[in-house]
Structure 1
């Protein structure tokens, strides 16, 4: 399977998903030491600390001769939880990802980000770089709960194939979506030993208590305790605080579909929560990797008007 380089790898959710699907991960790159330490504890291939905003670092990546580049450039500046500022260096890293791909010219690239990046100038600029370099683009927003992840988490994927038509991967990305969201119970059973848990809301206009018999809300990089003054929301699934608690960081990693033998060696709680919350869910990455693998194996060509119908169907799902 294709030799793959993972940029902005974090602790390795994207790497592990693609590795599980049979792709060979050559190396990963990140610039945050806690993420690098976690990655090193779980993978045998190289994890390199590099600031990818620096021009001379592209040369170092070229020595791997990747056939595929995957990555999730930092998304805080596009996130609904952030300040949505496209004028920062973090937003520039999305363009830098495009420039690295355009320079190294792998056969395929996969870029992951938050759903709302699809309305940004940064994405339009990045897509222009990809297209100028000869990539046919397939883009889709996937709900992780329909892709084997017990979590409502919508993520944008842009997949490029060198010297190929636009949209060719979309049918493979949509044909195996589940008919209904995956619940925490369906994925973990009674492993949590509770039926209801607290997840701190962004505002108290939203509920904070959830049942294991539904998918979890998006796992974020913060995990706060239940306030003593918490006022129940009408949609909370329970009001008995004796049987409700906050999930641990490791339990939240299970919702991100990291396996139970995945090692998180960090002692700093805020770093641990951020690493887990920022990760690409492993099963979501695996779902996308399997779709690409299926496309590569079958090489099916579908007429342009059929692709357009499938794109319309995909947009109607969400």
Structure 2
């Protein structure tokens, strides 16, 4: 195994790419590797390094000033990608360390090629096609698009459950922190105000939020098959209670509240002349049913149990 230079990582990773320049790497292959990094987590491409981390250096035709390399990358990417090129001197040759920023916009090569970097099934990084169906998820990672506000292509108003809608209206009417101006709205007005539907071409279509909030259970199974809430009570690593539901979220609030109250017992402790009751899980945590990921935290002085709701 070659000894890596201290300025160069010992192996490739999702953020580290090695490219040999012994045969003068062509611009197309260089730009392809650059956009792969930009469309993933960003990182550094080391030009002049073999896959096994052996430093073989830049091709003799490379100019002494590497500023032009950054210009080539900017001119061959859409949108123009600004990289930082460092000239790394090693005993076995020069290396161009090209620092590539992560891009919120999807970056393509100027001829339209779009790829991204990922870890393959063998645990090694690879550059793969970036498919249009993956663009929305990428933009959602940068909060450039609200997935919950997107209309569901195969959904209709018939996928809304009237009973869940009445539950929603009851929550609005009875919650002192809710906007009371919503109480008197028609179904269509309420759906628009809460982004439960989106109107396109004069047709109202349920959004992902609308389906999750007041959708029929069978519609949720069909249109959002990954939707599920699990309620668990853990004693260390042992599961004592394990309940699941695929119902609408507005129904989940009541369901989680009832389950939580049933298992959230108290223990009493003496503090001088006073007896203090401490719940197994902080009550404030259970009052935030929308914060479902590890919403509840065990009390340090109580039994080693947790009440956890997973979305």
Higher helix share: 1
Higher relative contact order (CA 8 A, sep 6+): 1
Same fold (TM over 0.5): no
Higher strand share: 2
Query: Under TM normalisation by the shorter chain, which class is it?
Result: under 0.3
Question: TM-score scaled to structure 2, two decimals?
Answer: 0.23
